[in-house]
Amino acid sequence: MRRQIIYCILQVCALDYTLVGHRRAWLIKEQEEDNPTLHIVAAFLLYDGRNSKDDEVFEMMHTEGTFARLVELVQMNSVQDDVRLHQMLLELLYESSRIQRLTYEDFSTW
């Protein structure tokens, strides 16, 4: 589940809880960037990451390469217009980079 949420930051998509076969499951649906989805995903990752005992969420984010995408999102005009979302993404960017050493490649992608 966490990895799917992280992919939402990378792809900016919506999660849809739907019927798959005989069971309900979370499916990722791609969509254009929209602030409400970003807000929910960022809030979830920030809350989950800060409340995990071993920084597993932030390590997973680093492994999946979310740093460059977070920088890209923070620089978007639509995100900058939404002050709370902008602040939350900045906090997520800080927390995810705090626990891992950033490489040159992390900075070269943006």
Comparing 7-21, 56-70, 72-86, the range with the smallest average pLDDT is 7-21
Specify the 3-state DSSP secondary structure of 91: helix
pLDDT at 15: 46
| CA–centroid distance for 29 within its chain | 15
Q: Is the dihedral of CA 33, 14, 61, 55 positive or negative?
A: positive
List C-alpha distances in Å: 98 to 14, 31, 107: 27, 29, 15
At 86-108, the pLDDT tens digits run 999 999 988 888 877 777 766 66
At 50-69, the pLDDT tens digits run 998 888 888 888 888 888 88
